[in-house]
Amino acid sequence: MAVHLDTFYLDPDQDSTLQHRIKRAVVEGILSGRYRPGERMPSSRMLAKHLNISRITVTIAYTDLVADDYLVARGRSGYFVSDTAPSSPNFELPSEDSDSTFDWSRILNHRPPPASSITRPDNWQSYPYPFIYGQSDQSLFDHQNWRLCALQALGQRDFAALTLDQYERDDPKLIEYIQRNITTRRGIRARPENILVTMGAQNALWLTAQLLLTQRRIAVIENPGYRGFREILGETRCRTVEVDVDEDGLPPDKLPEQIDVVFTTPSHHSPTNASMPLERRKELLRLAGEKGFVIVEDDYEFELAFKRSPSPTLKSLDEAGCVVYIGSFSKSLFPGLRLGFMVAPTALIEQARALRSTIMRHPPWHIQRNAANFLSLGHYNAQINRMRKAYQRRRQAMEAAIEDCGLTYAVPAVSGGSCFWMKAPEGVDTEDLALALRTKGVVLEPGRSFYPPGQGPSNMYRLAYSSIATAKIPRGIELIAEEIANLD
């Protein structure tokens, strides 16, 4: 029997080449049992004609399918479905389509619902004025070199290391680069055993919280603050104390008496972008020594300090060894990579490594080695330089437009980062503002989600410039100002 030409159709997926689509069609035909072992395939000439494509495309696809033993070539007779072709055993599907009659609500541990995400439409990229925070700007990323570094990582030489279950280990090349070039840049002296690679800063914060907090422990977080903290602390059921920040970030004199762990973002406070002065850093460390608490320093955006030299990190001033330092490649490379790291005394790193192993073994060496190559060839530093220059231009455009339109900073613009923390007039609810602006093509983030649920002012908002082109900024800010005037 022969496979009939009419059973052949290409899926309309425009994302793949014709060759791929032919291969997929054959593979699916074979796996689904429609094409049986020994059946003759249409000739390349006939199939090319039927699909109205070139014959060579069909021939190449067929040849690849022979290599994978889906087809066999029998000289002049043409191509046949291989007798030993991969197959997909068929089972009778369950007749019921209903999801579940089992009572899951009884057994599932109670968990808080995920935070509302009114702040960010999924299709923000199609808005002309996306003042959106934390995503990468494709146009600034050195995609070509990233791809070359991936190719190198996937080369014959490195591939063995990438395929193995590495249990608890990280890629030594990545660790070495972090140790020699990134931590030193932040004034931190670390040995390889003080460093753990994590799935982004989120994962590092989570591991740290799991190891240090219980129901009986007290954690301090900044208010307003990074929303991820609340989720993470919720997991531990610890007591959480929210301390209000001011224009210099977290004030040490406002800390409660009893503390076990302080989470802070001294470089650029999230979301206000305030930078903690040196005196406060020293005072915070003094208190940590006196009261015996741990400081978790989230240095998430240190590469983007362009207004003045970044202050020394808490970790670099930490003589007692009570600071856990957390870094991220989400801003300098891209957030989809899920790559970050933590630096801490070995007592903590050893336990974090064991916990990481239990939950997932290790971050894939595929991405660790890819990043290590990119870093060690200098592309990372070049990347930061390029971003800094672009962000500086955008920031100047932002400042000019904000002044022109008379918008108000909630915290004075200082040392860098990629956003401003803004204040609308008292009566304006920025969630209404955000919704109204979407119809005009503007995306901004209302501020309420940075405060504990149901608390905090309703007139704050964040304006980020990491994903918007400089030329779009003036009109975008103008639209915001107009809408605020409407609502006020």
For a second copy, the closer of residues 170 and 483 by Cβ is: 170
For a second copy, the closer of residues 61 and 397 by Cβ is: 61
Name residues contacting a second copy, limited to 127-166 (CB under 8 A): 134-136, 138, 141-143, 146-147, 150-151, 154-166
Name residues contacting a second copy, limited to 396-435 (CB under 8 A): none
Q: Does 438 participate in binding a second copy (rule CB under 8 A)? A: no
Q: Give yes or no for a contact between 326 and 205, defined as CB atoms under 8 angstroms apart.
A: yes
Contacts with a second copy, 299-328, as mask; x by CB under 8 A: ----------xx-x---xxxxxxx------
Q: Does 72 participate in binding a second copy (rule CB under 8 A)? A: no
Q: Give yes or no for a contact between 29 and 7, defined as CB atoms under 8 angstroms apart.
A: yes
Q: Is 423 helix (H, G, I), strand (E, B) or coil?
A: strand
DSSP state of 3: -
Name residues contacting a second copy, limited to 327-346 (CB under 8 A): 330, 334-339, 345-346
| # binding residues, a second copy (CB under 8 A) | 141
Q: Which of 6, 99, 257, 290 binds a second copy (CB under 8 A)?
A: 99
For a second copy, the closer of residues 70 and 461 by Cβ is: 70
- Minimum CB separation from a second copy for residue 408, in Å? 29
Which range binds a second copy by CB under 8 A, 40-48, 197-205, 390-398, 458-466?
197-205
Neighbours of 283 (CB within 10 A): 16
For a second copy, the closer of residues 122 and 426 by Cβ is: 122
- Minimum CB separation from a second copy for residue 398, in Å? 22
d(C-alpha 106, C-alpha 111), whole Å:
12
For a second copy, the closer of residues 50 and 386 by Cβ is: 386
For a second copy, the closer of residues 86 and 412 by Cβ is: 86
**Backbone phi and psi for residue 389, each to the nearest 5 degrees, phi listed first:** -65, -45
Q: Is 142 left (phi over 0), alpha (psi -120 to 50) or beta?
A: beta
Q: CA torsion sign, 28 to 29 to 33 to 34?
A: positive
d(C-alpha 395, C-alpha 417), whole Å:
9
- Minimum CB separation from a second copy for residue 165, in Å? 4
Contacts with a second copy, 28-47, as mask; x by CB under 8 A: x--x----------------
For a second copy, the closer of residues 88 and 455 by Cβ is: 88
- Minimum CB separation from a second copy for residue 455, in Å? 21
State both tokens at 352: 């974090």
Spatial CB neighbours of 153, under 8 Å, sequence gap ≥ 6: 162, 366, 369, 370, 372, 373
Contacts with a second copy, 106-125, as mask; x by CB under 8 A: xxxx-x-xx--x-------x
For a second copy, the closer of residues 256 and 289 by Cβ is: 289
Alpha helices for 377-461 (secondary structure H): 379-405, 430-438
Tell me the angle at which helices 143-153 and 379-405 cross, rounded to the nearest 10 degrees: 150
Name residues contacting a second copy, limited to 450-479 (CB under 8 A): none
- Listing DSSP states for 213-240 in one string gives --TT-EEEEEES--HHHHHHHHHHT-EE
Name residues contacting a second copy, limited to 342-401 (CB under 8 A): 345-348, 351, 354-355, 357-367, 370, 376-379, 381-382, 384-386, 389
- Minimum CB separation from a second copy for residue 210, in Å? 8
* 332-356 burial code (b ≥16 CB/10 A, e <16): bbbbebbbbbbbbbeebbeebbeeb
How far is CA 305 from its chain centroid?
20
Maximum CA pair distance of the chain? 87
- Minimum CB separation from a second copy for residue 55, in Å? 21
Side chain identity, residue 120: R
- Minimum CB separation from a second copy for residue 427, in Å? 32
- Minimum CB separation from a second copy for residue 24, in Å? 6
State both tokens at 16: 């793949």
Name residues contacting a second copy, limited to 253-282 (CB under 8 A): 260-261
